[in-house]
Chains A and B, each alone.
Chain A
């Protein structure tokens, strides 16, 4: 344990305070999680699953917990809020009601974690802790200390009328531990967008759990574009019942060091489609750790992760597919395509297949390469200068992922963000 005693003590105090306000089931979870965290701390690179991502820099920062939300200019926040969505805004991990949509109740429950603890304990206990399939310091830290968050719960057969966007904003060099729970009962459908942004280099320590009932469908988007000095841990753990479908799309564009865990457990006939892109420029370190567990027969998974590493950036992709004994007729494909664009950049890609059934189709492929010389030449023969041609190919590489986003306001938002990053070439939105 390398955290200094006084910092650890402050975490303990906060954990105890939170536990006092909580129902007994949660208080117990918090105590146990804090005890484990005290013993083990954040994960060390000695652990196999963390060998490419060293979080010692986070410990050295000795971040306090964000005791209160920082002030933000609502006009600034509006740039990040997508139209035609229901919003929930968390500033430094604290719920901001003025910028959020009023809570929904009835067949659709959508509210902040505080309200959920007060009014929807039954729904919380239905899913809390059920989807997390991992045990390490960040998750324990989150369980012990989360404060803000969201509860989304759809009754059987309900279709959410518009997407939900949860916007996380960092304004302080402090820790924002947030926790969401998504419970989709049988046959219900929802789209959830989690956006992470900020103007300060703090630590996001986030966990989302999603529990999908039979034939439920979740579209989930994660947009991580935090401050260049920020640290990010974000775990998404999805547990799917028979026939449930989840599409998860992950844009890792920001922070100094970010680790995402995206884990799905599929049941009979379930489907998971994972897409992601890392853009590791500057000194950015972006790590995605995905795990797809096919626990029962006839599941389908499709995973496509892409990465750009340039400057002194580093992209880490660890993708694991587990086919458990009895998960016959599993059909799983995983691809990882990387562009390595400078001598100082680094790509680590580690696809892993663990197959315990004998009648399955599993495939994976990894490529690491440079920009296509033919394409560069093609663009140059049309008068485009070599640097602009290079930028245009990079733009295309990222834009392919954006074009696949089937939520119009989010796609438009991502296009704007992408365009603003390519100021080297003239770009404007064409009709």
Chain B
């Protein structure tokens, strides 16, 4: 039997002294798109950051299996080289380092890990330019410092561009839709759709149902207070949109009592 792409078992995690995740169980198979919804502070972004290995996010209990391997034993860069990608909610500005150099360094780090030769400079530029067209990004962005002076929408598109270039196996998108107008959202969704394949998995953290109109999920999980309180198909997102998060809170309270 093949291993699931991602299997999270009873995950508890804390940030500083605060327990945020209180027992998450989630299995994501190859080819699936899972959406994680929930109110602010419910632990959605914490899960995304724990998966990427952000320092300061401490797992106190539970396991995460990534393609059958213990993800928590791997350093952030090793996770990335093994095909895990986190699109940041707040992409970081890196002054003085050009996008093109960064993309190439990242791609080569991953290729080296796989035992592949470094990418040919000219081929690389051609591939990147092609993907920039898809993301409706001007080529000038390649030569600008990473995310420096980019608008919110440009930063998010740049995250998807990196994802398109690095072709990860598991794409984790942390509120990729926040701060995007409808046109930018469509472009970002197009980038995500372009990567969908029977092998690749997606975990999309989002506050709003809007993104899911463009990237249709297979499974929707609803987070509240560090737990998954409900899972279902795409219709769950619609229901949530219609009834609001208050509905989930009452749902949870009913469960507890």
State the interface size on chain A (CB cutoff 8 A).
31
Stretch at the interface among A73-81, A264-272, A367-375: A367-375
B75 in contact with A374 (CB, 8 Å) = no
Given A377-B76, A381-B85, A384-B77: A397 in contact with B96 (beta carbons within 8 A): yes
B118 in contact with A426 (CB, 8 Å) = yes
A372 to B93, CA, bound (A): 10
Indicate if A403 sits at the interface (CB-CB under 8 A): yes
Indicate if B92 sits at the interface (CB-CB under 8 A): yes
Stretch at the interface among A30-38, A193-201, A295-303, A387-395: A387-395
Chain B residues, CB < 8 A from A385: 77, 109
From B88, B96, B104, B105, name the one whose CB has the most chain A CB atoms within 10 angstroms. B96
B121 in contact with A428 (CB, 8 Å) = yes
B77 in contact with A397 (CB, 8 Å) = no
Indicate if A57 sits at the interface (CB-CB under 8 A): no
Residue in chain A with minimal CB distance to B82: A383
Residue in chain A with minimal CB distance to B112: A383
Given A396-B97, A427-B101: A383 in contact with B81 (beta carbons within 8 A): yes
A367 to B87, CA, bound (A): 30
Chain A residues, CB < 8 A from B91: 378
B118 in contact with A383 (CB, 8 Å) = no
Chain B residues, CB < 8 A from A373: 55
B80 to chain A, nearest CB (A): 4
B86 in contact with A426 (CB, 8 Å) = no
Q: Which of A393-411 contact B (CB under 8 A)?
A: 393, 395-400, 403
B105 in contact with A384 (CB, 8 Å) = yes
Given A385-B109, A431-B125: A380 in contact with B92 (beta carbons within 8 A): no
Given A392-B105, A396-B97, A400-B96: A383 in contact with B166 (beta carbons within 8 A): yes
Indicate if A51 sits at the interface (CB-CB under 8 A): no
Indicate if B26 sits at the interface (CB-CB under 8 A): no
B106 in contact with A395 (CB, 8 Å) = no
The listed residue (B79, B88, B108) touching A378 by CB distance below 8 A is B88
A426 in contact with B77 (CB, 8 Å) = no
B166 in contact with A382 (CB, 8 Å) = yes
A321 to B162, CA, bound (A): 45
The listed residue (A374, A381, A425, A428) touching B86 by CB distance below 8 A is A381
B227 to chain A, nearest CB (A): 26
Indicate if A379 sits at the interface (CB-CB under 8 A): yes
B94 in contact with A379 (CB, 8 Å) = yes
A50 to chain B, nearest CB (A): 32
Indicate if A430 sits at the interface (CB-CB under 8 A): yes
A397 in contact with B76 (CB, 8 Å) = no
The listed residue (A377, A400, A425) touching B105 by CB distance below 8 A is A425
Residue in chain A with minimal CB distance to B106: A382
Indicate if A23 sits at the interface (CB-CB under 8 A): no
Can you name 11 extra interface pairs (CB under 8 A) apart from A380-B53, A382-B106? A372-B92, A378-B88, A381-B52, A382-B102, A382-B162, A383-B109, A383-B110, A384-B77, A388-B105, A399-B96, A426-B108
Chain B interface residues toward A at CB < 8 A: 52-55, 75-77, 79-81, 85-86, 88, 91-98, 100-102, 104-106, 108-110, 113, 118, 121, 125, 145, 162, 166
Chain A interface residues toward B at CB < 8 A: 372-375, 377-386, 388-389, 392-393, 395-400, 403, 425-428, 430-431
Between A and B, 22 residue pairs with Cβ closer than 8 Å are A375-B94, A377-B55, A380-B77, A381-B52, A381-B77, A381-B80, A381-B86, A382-B102, A382-B105, A382-B162, A383-B81, A388-B105, A388-B109, A389-B77, A392-B105, A393-B97, A395-B97, A397-B95, A400-B96, A403-B96, A427-B101, A430-B125
Name the 9 nearest CB pairs between A and B, nearest first: A396-B96, A382-B106, A399-B96, A400-B96, A383-B109, A383-B80, A396-B97, A378-B92, A380-B76
